[in-house]
Amino acid sequence: MIGALQNIFKIPDLRRKVMVTLGLIAVYRLGGFIPTPGIDSQALAEFFKNIAKSQGGQILGIMNMFSGGSLEKLTIFALGIMPYISSSIIIQLLTAVIPALEKLSKEGKAGHQKINQFTRYATVGLAIIQSYFIALWLEHPGRLLEGLSIVSHPGLSFRFLTVITLTTGTIFIMWLGEQIQERGIGNGISLIICAGIISSIPAALQQLFLLMSPKTRQLHPFTLLIMAVLLFAVIFAVIMVTQGQRKIPVQYARRVVGRKVFGGQSTYIPLKVDTSGVIAIIFAQSIILFPATIASFIPNASFQKFANSLTRGHIAYTLIYALLIIFFCYFYTAIVFNPKDISDNMKKYGGFIPGIRPGEPTTEFLDFVMTRITLAGALFIAVIAILPDFIMAWLNVPYLLASFFGGTGILIVVGVMLDTLKQIESQLLMRNYEGFIKGARIQGRR
């Protein structure tokens, strides 16, 4: 491993890509400390401290995680890359239901460039809408901040300045991600999200040291050992499921065209165990936390009681959350995986699955196999998503510490690291260097 890291800096082109990537990520983290104009930082900190105790603090905590803590400080990168992620998911779903977009997605590189342009336009629109409502929300925080004012000079000018600042910040982050993609190494957007999640590690370690200090003694050394073993076990399980594939063998018939022979080779179709990844968790979190977020602004006793039952720690929340994740795993898989298209393409080029007739039987077989392996992946994702709640209750640790044992964060970090290491390893192997693991090759998510 150490030798592989040394080899990275022996290759000028790879060294340049790594340094460009690290430099652009440093720019992103630097922007997370530049505050938005017109905000009282002390009142803002008090506001987020109060809202963290309410039901609405959960969904804001998720948004704050994706923005690398910028939302809590309301910096110029407060929206983070979430508008781009939401736009990408929306465009991807629309591609499956709108024939024009579906046709565009099959036009190769030119079609994908147009779809990416639509995603950028949608990102700007979502960023404008979200930043405007954030400005209104800060001007009228309601009962969560009585007697204090977050905005020094509320009004139209503050709203306009906030919309321009936050929208420009999101566009700049999107541009940074594209530059990493073109000039650096790894997936730019994914690396930016990963950097934001990793930035919370120092705060988590600080909480860990406070819990282990002689003054508090809230965390026993044996408990720390259990946490370390559990962390390695969770990371190992996530890696295995992330890389897990069901390989369907495909045989292509030999065809003679003139004096040339085509086909005759064997290959396979890799069916992912976890096709949806973190998208299913994001969908489920958005739906289950929506009533709790609305309840924090509506002073209605019955609605508050209903929303309280859908907050972290309640059995209803855990069950509904797990069921929503399983549902969205199947829903997203059905959107992105079309066995009919795969079957038609195989039949068109003379391919068949041994023992399965081409055409409709092949479609039914692929659908049957994908349904079964998706169940295993969905159950695993559901367990990983609710694991931090059990860790928090079992070991009596804060949620910031427990979140590193499951949930969205660990899935993103492990997946992004695998993809990045795979790209670096491919660059090393192209120049006759050994990879990170002797006798083995790293596989990414794709």
The answer to whether residues 374 and 226 belong to one domain is yes
Q: What is the mean pLDDT of residues 229-240?
A: 87
Evaluate if residue 88 carries a pLDDT over 70. Answer: yes
Asked if the structure places residue 417 within a domain, the reply is: no
The answer to whether residues 392 and 262 belong to one domain is yes
Residue at token pair 């430099």: 23
**Residue with more model confidence, 375 or 299:** 375
**pLDDT value at residue 310:** 66
The residues, any chain, with a CB within 8 Å of residue 390's CB and separated by 6 or more, are none
Write the single-letter amino acid at 15.
Answer: R
Question: 258-271: per-residue pLDDT in tens?
Answer: 666 665 678 888 88
* Cα distance between residue 197 and residue 403, in whole Å: 10
The answer to whether residues 39 and 157 belong to one domain is yes
**pLDDT value at residue 13:** 84
pTM: 0.78
Evaluate if residue 158 carries a pLDDT over 70. Answer: yes
The answer to whether residues 242 and 336 belong to one domain is yes
The total of structural domains in the chain comes to: 2
The answer to whether residues 78 and 160 belong to one domain is yes
Burial (CB count within 10 angstroms: exposed 0-12, middle 13-18, buried 19+), residue 78: buried
Q: What is the mean pLDDT of residues 6-34?
A: 86
Asked if the structure places residue 149 within a domain, the reply is: yes
Evaluate if residue 103 carries a pLDDT over 90. Answer: no
Asked if the structure places residue 155 within a domain, the reply is: yes
Write the single-letter amino acid at 264.
Answer: G
Asked if the structure places residue 76 within a domain, the reply is: yes
Q: What is the mean pLDDT of residues 318-334?
A: 87
Write the single-letter amino acid at 79.
Answer: L
The answer to whether residues 306 and 335 belong to one domain is yes
* Cα distance between residue 113 and residue 176, in whole Å: 17
Percent of all residues in the chain with a pLDDT value above 90, rounded to a whole number: 10
Residue at token pair 């970090």: 413
The answer to whether residues 165 and 283 belong to one domain is no
Question: 25-37: per-residue pLDDT in tens?
Answer: 999 988 888 888 8
Q: How confident is the model at residue 165 (pLDDT cuts 50, 70, 90)?
A: very high
The answer to whether residues 68 and 173 belong to one domain is yes
Kindly list the distances between the CA atom of residue 336 and the CA atoms of 90, 159, 178, 327, 340, in Å, as whole numbers in the listed order.
Answer: 13, 39, 23, 15, 12
End position of a domain, from candidates 148, 167, 199: 199
* Cα distance between residue 315 and residue 371, in whole Å: 28
**Residues pairing with 251 in the sheet:** 266, 352
Evaluate if residue 356 carries a pLDDT over 70. Answer: yes
Instruction: Name the residue among 154, 187, 180, 150 with its Cα closest to residue 40.
Output: 150
Domain span at residue 165 reads 1-199
Q: How confident is the model at residue 402 (pLDDT cuts 50, 70, 90)?
A: confident
The answer to whether residues 139 and 13 belong to one domain is yes
DSSP labels for 49-96? HHHHTSTTHHHHHHHHHHTTTHHHHTBTTTTTTHHHHHHHHHHHHHHH
Asked if the structure places residue 264 within a domain, the reply is: yes
Asked if the structure places residue 415 within a domain, the reply is: no
Q: What is the mean pLDDT of residues 342-354?
A: 84
Q: Which CATH number does the domain housing residue 349 bear?
A: 1.10.3370.10
Asked if the structure places residue 87 within a domain, the reply is: yes
The answer to whether residues 317 and 368 belong to one domain is yes
Percent of all residues in the chain with a pLDDT value above 70, rounded to a whole number: 80
DSSP labels for 177-215? HHHHHHHSSS-HHHHHHHHHHHTTHHHHHHHHHHHHSTT
**pLDDT value at residue 301:** 65
Asked if the structure places residue 241 within a domain, the reply is: yes
Which of 119-128, 132-141, 229-238 is predicted least confidently? 132-141
The answer to whether residues 104 and 222 belong to one domain is no
* Cα distance between residue 282 and residue 274, in whole Å: 15
Q: How confident is the model at residue 160 (pLDDT cuts 50, 70, 90)?
A: very high
**By the 8 A CB rule, do 74 and 93 touch?**
no
Q: How confident is the model at residue 3 (pLDDT cuts 50, 70, 90)?
A: low
Q: What is the mean pLDDT of residues 210-231?
A: 77
* Cα distance between residue 34 and residue 37, in whole Å: 9
* Cα distance between residue 414 and residue 387, in whole Å: 16
Q: What is the overall mean pLDDT for the chain? A: 80
**pLDDT value at residue 440:** 58
The answer to whether residues 256 and 115 belong to one domain is no
* Cα distance between residue 150 and residue 38, in whole Å: 9
